[in-house]
Amino acid sequence: MEKRYLNWSTGKDACLALHKLNTANKPVEKLLTTLNAETKRVSMHGVSADLLRAQAKALGIPLEEIALSGEVSLETYNKKMQEYAEKLKSEGFTTAVFGDIFLEDLRAYRETQLQKVSLAADFPLWNTAPKALLTEFFQLGYKAIIVAVNASVLDKSYCGKELTPELIDSFPDGVDICGENGEYHTFVYNGPMFKTPVDFIIGETVKHTYKPVKNKNEGDCFKNCFKEEEELTWDTSFWFTNLQLK
């Protein structure tokens, strides 16, 4: 018998993956989220732990948090995630669920890591057209706000905006409308699965720039893998809008 946990980001893709499984009568029994141990915020999305917990409570699903250093190498990240995967397996979990859509290398990486602890991977949104996913998200009645944008591809003005069809239509050419390449991240605060909306206040928008953390042995880093001799060109600046729980 399958027992699933969902790698939960607080955003629209994870939410839609959860919805699809619920509709298919394949319940998710736990949400798993990584947090920056220093800032107490969701990795990459920048959402506060308070909002994350309020969101999980509104969904009625148990939440497990993994605290990671803000400067964590890929080696350390893999070790920590494997420890949690083994713990979840000991609790009877068989399957890890992800909201990924089309990044083949990311899927392969996830599957390889899970195979080490004999867990299966499920990708409910896989190879679905981004436009179709967003259309479904809006038609179902989910509500989300953009909480982070990659400063190299989207303007600061997009941060803190309600995610709408009109806003998506205004994205510059080359931006994936689902943000699958990390162009933007969202926080879902209401919809069919929510017992109550998550109430929040929109705070200030700030820019953060990050440095890569190299693995001393392999030259890896958590945000983007690169070789010692190659020029580092990955995007390191992001705009974040601070949402405060009411």
**For the chain, percent helix, then strand, then coil, each to nearest 5?**
30, 25, 45
pLDDT band at 176 (very low <50, low <70, confident <90, very high): very high
Helix axes 104-115, 74-90, angle to 10 degrees: 60
Helix pair angle (130-140, 12-23), 10° resolution: 70
User: How confident is the model over 97-124, as a mean pLDDT?
Assistant: 96
Specify the pLDDT at position 230. 34
Distance CA 46, CA 35 (A): 9
Q: Does domain 4-245 have CATH number 1.10.3720.10?
A: no
Neighbours of 71 (CB within 10 A): 15
Share of the chain above pLDDT 70, in %: 90
Choice among 112-126, 136-150, 217-231 with the minimum mean pLDDT: 217-231
Q: Using the predicted structure, report yes or no on whether residue 220 has a pLDDT greater than 50.
A: no
Pairing of β 4-7 and β 95-97: parallel
pLDDT in tens, 42-72: 988 999 999 999 999 999 999 999 999 877 7
Mean pLDDT across 100-123: 96
- Report the candidate in 31, 15, 7 with the shortest Cα–Cα distance to residue 163: 15
pLDDT of residue 211: 66
